[in-house]
Amino acid sequence: MIRALSSCLLLCLACSLPQTARAQGTPAVFRGITVGPIESSEQAGRGYGTVYSEALLDHLALHGTTWISITPFGRIWSLDSTDIYMDFEAPYEANRVSVREMIAQAHERGIRVLVVPHLWVWNESGWRGEIDPGSPAGWRAYQASYRDFLLAWARDAELAGADALSIGVECKSWSGRFGAYWYSLIAEVRAVFSGFLTYSANWDEAEDVIFWDQLDFIGIQAFYPLHWENGASYAQYLEGAGRARDAVRTLSEIIERPVLFVEIGYTTRSDAAVEPWLWPDGMTDVAYDEVEQARAMHALITTFAAEPFFAGFLVWRYYANLDDVSQEAEWGFSPHGKRAEPVLWDAFASEFAADDPTPRWERAAEAEPLMRTAALWADTTVGD
């Protein structure tokens, strides 16, 4: 019974959506890329909606990308601040125009778009998942500001024709409470945005989120640790991915929603899958390792793509200017031009279980093995 339920999640999704979203039908499996903005005034003309992003989208379309996510940022001064500002390195009006043009460029190439409004903690004293205004009055003020921030981008996403929207990113300190606020906010978003809705929960937050039943996808920032010790083998990474899969499958069955990995990614360094959330810019004495990035990505994607509840993923990340990764260290997350890139394109060309809503035991024959590069990683360890 439970297995049959999970097999039909994507097929039945349209039936459970509000009429505005149902008109779009069920979404294709997400074979996706997060496209980072280049909003800095020092690189004018190289961000969303430019000739550079057109070249990027041509490259992504060529390799089977079906979705991109774009990440307009707001900023908050500190973890206990209550005011969210709409500008981040560029004025809000300029950003919204760029987002609209980026969405149009993607649609011209048959690529759907998920808009993911992010928050940047300006003084870099902590992570957005730790935001805490410190008092009931502070929370009310912060939530009022967050409502304005999100609804502004929801309206912009609707006007631009975006296909999906994330209502938040890593709100770990408050996604498990304030139920009345969240339910009201989601209803307001539904009133102005007709696409699919998700939320981008941190990997260790997803089971505590209280409003999944109001959304269309369980969205997860899937930076799961695949092992707890350095020097892990590929087989140990597969075991770690399997542990994550089992937990996510249970959540999907309980909530009766498909699961989308809004972000997956690994840095290009040794032991990247032990603590994959570590931000590359703060690291020193890093051992650059393309094989590690590739085999960690392969282990996670292979494990989840075989599951009917899994609606796909978006890789963190490429940049609007494809060949300029100057915004991150060379051992950063971008797979472009590295050994992980063929793994990604091979995944996009492979069958996902969710591509076929027919339960596996009723299929006439199994498809070819998922991801043809599997044999390349079977016996590899770090540094091989």
CATH 3.20.20.80 given to domain 2-377: yes
- Only one residue has tokens 């992003």, namely 53
> Which residues are 36's β-sheet partners?
319
Verdict on whether the full-model pTM lies above 0.95:
no
- At position 222, the amino acid (one-letter code) is A
Confidence of residue 326 (pLDDT cuts 50, 70, 90): confident
| Contact predicate 172/142, CB 8 Å | no
Q: Which two tokens stand for residue 270?
A: 């040794």
Confidence of residue 123 (pLDDT cuts 50, 70, 90): confident
Report the pLDDT averaged over residues 73-84.
Answer: 93
Min mean pLDDT across 83-87, 175-179, 300-304, 360-364 is at 360-364
Could you tell me which of 318, 311, 274 has the C-alpha nearest to residue 293?
A: 274
Task: Kindly tell me the sign of the dihedral angle through the C-alpha atoms of 147, 148, 154, 155.
Answer: positive
Instruction: For residue 376, give the H/E element and its range.
Output: helix 374-377
Confidence of residue 2 (pLDDT cuts 50, 70, 90): very low
| Contact predicate 135/161, CB 8 Å | no
Q: CA 383, 344, 367: angle at the middle one, nearest 5?
A: 115
Percent of the chain scored above 70 by pLDDT? 83
3-state helix, strand, coil in the chain (%, to 5): 40, 15, 40
Task: Kindly tell me the sign of the dihedral angle through the C-alpha atoms of 65, 234, 253, 180.
Answer: negative
Q: Is the pLDDT of residue 168 over 90?
A: yes
- For 200, counting Cβ atoms within 10 Å of its Cβ (0-12 exposed, 13-18 middle, 19+ buried), the class is buried
Strands (E), the chain: 30-36, 67-70, 73-76, 84-85, 112-115, 118-121, 164-169, 196-202, 218-221, 259-264, 310-319
At 301, phi and psi to the nearest 5? -65, -45
118-121, strands of its sheet edge to edge:
84-85, 73-76, 118-121
Q: What per-residue confidence (pLDDT) applies to 356?
A: 73
How far CA 95 is from CA of 40, 124, 257, 326, 343, in Å, comes to 11, 22, 32, 20, 32
| Contact predicate 94/50, CB 8 Å | no
Confidence of residue 39 (pLDDT cuts 50, 70, 90): low
Q: What per-residue confidence (pLDDT) applies to 6?
A: 42
Q: Where are the domains of the chain?
A: 2-377
| Contact predicate 156/117, CB 8 Å | no
